[in-house]
Structure 1
């Protein structure tokens, strides 16, 4: 049987002088995490180099300033692309609008916690669209247009705020019918949602 390489983390090696769409993605991810402060321009210059090195130091990658496979792997575990940020905001809005702001951040944090867990798919899209994972996908509310609050909540969760305290699941106790979800160890309750491991 022929095994094909895992393309989940495939991205070109980016270094000083690189200029393409992947540099835009790199800069966006670094900006979301607070490492890149400049305007996104798609050009890998000195400020992008410095931001990459700071990220690498913080996330256990040799700080060479080159965005290679190990750097991309860590970036994709702990950050999101612009498209993924849109999906995360849609999920927050469709699952938690009307909830306290901290509860909206917690919903986004659950997705980020899943992204870092070996128990779930390796991309935000695959986590969100995993069958039966989120009610808003099943009932179509995911496709509603998110508001600014949903984007801000998603942004804060990606930057590391986790009011769910590491939860991998959440549910509304007034509507949950699954015995399995009730069996999960509960961590905290925010608004109408219980967050669980």
Structure 2
């Protein structure tokens, strides 16, 4: 009887430790459908790495071959992604990194180019390269309907950013926020991809407080469309801030252009 009780207690303790480890490492059910629970790092290979490379390339962080081999180039892409998303940039893909990557690439749909050996001239690294708008990413995901050649994921994450940053602002102010993102994209002072601009460290409050993942409304989506089509109420601003909440002395030193709603737009 004592032996049986000991076995039960041991099993219960193991299950408790496993559940705590799972919570700590962030193995959510949804990302678990995409990745296994194995930690992925340099030297790893297989389906998890194929998935990792495909999603990183979709976001513009990886421009190598999808071959399922976690090499130095893949590690560099992982560390860049981790840094942009405010995580420990060690190049090791655990539960937290998998969750963030899954959240950022919900709209990604693998194509033939995302399968080892499925590369073609039109989808090979370097063929997609920079679009006319300065964006990088897989050519198969480019939305030809917009003038800048932004991908569907670029447009979606811009709408998320506009909604998270300015949903309480007048419509003109929401378009202005979208325009600032595009202005940064085309400026040599900022990253050359939409995701790079939006997730640049400390760039947007909505990223820092998690509001970037709120579902945008139609108004935010229209604001992005208007900005892409050339409307820039910000007058080519690269920054904006709310004077009621801004604590940075640096932002107050920027040349102010105009005020729309609660935001001051500046260079």
Using the size of structure 2 for normalisation, the TM-score is 0.49
**2:250 is aligned with 1:180:** yes
**2:149 is aligned with 1:91:** no
Alignment of 1:42-191 (within 5 A): 78-191=148-261
> Residue 175 of structure 1: SS of its match in structure 2?
coil
User: How far did residue 88 of structure 1 move?
Assistant: 0.2
Relative contact order: is structure 1 or structure 2 higher (C-alpha 8 Å, sep ≥ 6)? Answer: 1
Give 5+ residue unaligned stretches, structure 1: 1-5, 14-20, 34-77
> Residue 182 of structure 2: SS of its match in structure 1?
helix
Q: Deviations over 1:117-142 (max 9, x none)?
A: 00000000010000000001001111
Retained in 2: the 8 A contact 1:79–1:158? Answer: no
Give the distance between the partners of 1:162 and 1:196, measured in 2 at CA.
Answer: 13
Give 5+ residue unaligned stretches, structure 2: 1-61, 65-124, 130-137
C-alpha spacing 1:155/1:10, structure 2 compared with 1 (3 Å): farther
Query: What is the RMSD computed on CA atoms of the aligned residues?
Result: 2.2
> Residue 10 of structure 1 corresponds to which residue in structure 2?
126
Runs of 4+ in 1 over 6 A off after TM superposition: none
Higher mean alpha-carbon deviation, 152-161 vs 116-125, is at 152-161
Give the distance between the partners of 2:183 and 2:128, measured in 1 at CA.
Answer: 26
Give the distance between the partners of 1:123 and 1:23, measured in 2 at CA.
Answer: 16
> Residue 146 of structure 2 corresponds to which residue in structure 1?
32
Using the size of structure 1 for normalisation, the TM-score is 0.65
Equivalent residue pairs, number: 138
The structure number with the bigger radius of gyration is 2
> Residue 40 of structure 1 corresponds to which residue in structure 2?
none
User: How far did residue 98 of structure 1 move?
Assistant: 1.2
